[in-house]
Amino acid sequence: MDLLNTLVDKGLRRELPTREEALAVLATSDDELLDVVAAAGKVRRRWFGRRVKLNYLVNLKSGLCPEDCSYCSQRLGSKAEILKYTWLKPDEASKAAAAGVAGGAKRVCLVASGRGPTDRDVDRVSKTIAAIKEQNEDVEVCACLGLLSDGQAERLRAAGADAYNHNLNTSEATYGGITTTHTYADRVETVQQAQAAGMSACSGLIAGMGESDADLVDVVFSLRELDPDSVPVNFLIPFEGTPLAKEWNLTPQRALRILAMVRFVCPDVEVRLAGGREVHLRSMQPLALHLANSIFLGDYLTSEGQEGKADLAMIEDAGFEVEGAGTTTLPKHRADVAEAAGQSGGCGGHGGGGCGPCGDGGAEPAGACGPVGTAEAAPVAAAEVPAPAGEVRTDLVAVRRRGAGTDLPPNA
């Protein structure tokens, strides 16, 4: 296809596609899907080889959020039967993080529900960062705490935070339809505060909330302009008990086309396969590794993910390799710019998390962000087709019952 040849050429030159080209990727047919994946895979390999970065989420404070994000299981008024607990102590969080690092995670994403941290909360997180880095000096730490107030980004950076995650989630035009307690502009401002403080910015989106192709392209182009080092792509986890529980709009094929479009628009950025991958990609997850160069290991914020050992087997079986701690994630031209700007050089990368997802709607918790998880293996290949419109699917979504906030060992 001429379209794909053009997009590959542009991706290898780090040239922005046109909006029409990005929309055309989303409009390709299932018959063309493998061609689309192969084309985007050439761009992914040019900038990231066959490396896959592993990230691990630690949910520092779960549930009881005052924000009303429709996608989030931790939102105000949520009836989702998730774990609810207040702040983990630094040693508890460090122990949880150590499990992820032992499983191969290069980055630990510290997530807390809420609109944003108080100054006391920043102190708590600062102590947690210190405890984690005392045990694992080389691990990257990304904070995901919601909207930041003046001076808080600088305090987190001084405490050792390498990155900050705050997702845009959807297009500016439709943002008010999913959240009313804060604005799209609030989110943009927080990402910019993190960048100005010298942290690596992580900001992404949630697909599957009923948005149009134009909305998806709008938010990805906005992310390209904002220029985060990492872009988590979350797929809505329709939790029972949330307003979007019946929004089953994705197929594995559509999810792959969305990932390919993100890769073409953000060719040299860490694209993270985040919350909802097990639910919506199912048995086609390995194909997504040809598009994304980063995933979350194990569970998410409030939902369970694929077993950590299954993640590692999937990476190996697909012909990829786990990125080592001594490897710089970002391509040299981006890492050099980050270092010159005083950012932690080579982070680049919280479902949710960076973090990627949040609150776990396949998204992020209100105000904050990250993915979610439970005590038994997630039903990765349970369904062959998306649920009929208007139907709640409880067989594909497992609520986390292990790890942080419980007495059970984590999934890593």
For 41, left (φ over 0), alpha (ψ -120 to 50), or beta?
alpha
Judge whether 369 counts as a catalytic residue: no
Q: What is the largest CA-CA distance in the chain?
A: 55
- Catalytic pick among 107, 187, 202, 277: 202
Catalytic annotation, pick one of 44, 65, 107, 254? 65
Instruction: Indicate if 272 belongs to the active site.
Output: yes
* For the chain, the helix, strand and coil percentages under 3-state DSSP, each to the nearest 5: 35, 15, 50
Residue 109 falls in the annotated catalytic set: yes
Cβ–Cβ under 8 Å, residues 144 and 110: yes
Q: In angstroms, how far is CA 56 from the centroid of its own chain? A: 11
Establish whether 69 is an annotated binding residue: yes
Catalytic residue, candidates 75, 107, 109, 257: 109
Distances (CA, A) of 299 to 91, 154, 243, 309, 389: 20, 30, 23, 12, 27
* Cβ atoms 127, 133 nearer than 8 A: no
Structural contact between residues 134 and 101, judged by C-beta atoms closer than 8 angstroms: no
Residues 72, 259: Cα–Cα separation, whole Å: 22
Terminal CA-to-CA distance of the chain, rounded, Å? Answer: 41
Q: Which two tokens stand for residue 367?
A: 């105000």
Q: Is 142 annotated as a binding residue?
A: yes
Smallest CA-to-CA distance from 114 within 373, 381, 323, 365 is with 365
The one catalytic residue in 107, 124, 142, 355 is: 142
User: Would you call 399 helix, strand, or coil by DSSP?
Assistant: strand
Q: Is 355 annotated as a binding residue?
A: no
Q: For residue 238, give the DSSP letter.
A: -
Q: Quickly list DSSP for 48-110.
A: HTTEEEEEEEEEEEBS--S---TT-TTSTT-------B-PPPHHHHHHHHHHHHHTT-SEEEE
Q: What does the alpha-carbon distance between residue 194 and residue 199 come to, in Å, rounded to a whole number?
A: 5
347 catalytically annotated = no
Grouping H, G, I as helix, E, B as strand and the rest as coil, residue 194 is: helix
Q: Is-contact 304 295, C-beta < 8 A?
A: no
CA atoms of 11 and 267, how far apart (whole Å): 5
Active-site annotation, residues: 65, 69, 72, 109, 142, 202, 272
The annotation places the binding site for [2Fe-2S] cluster at 109, 142, 202, 272
The annotation places the binding site for [4Fe-4S] cluster at 65, 69, 72
The annotation places the binding site at 65, 69, 72, 109, 142, 202, 272
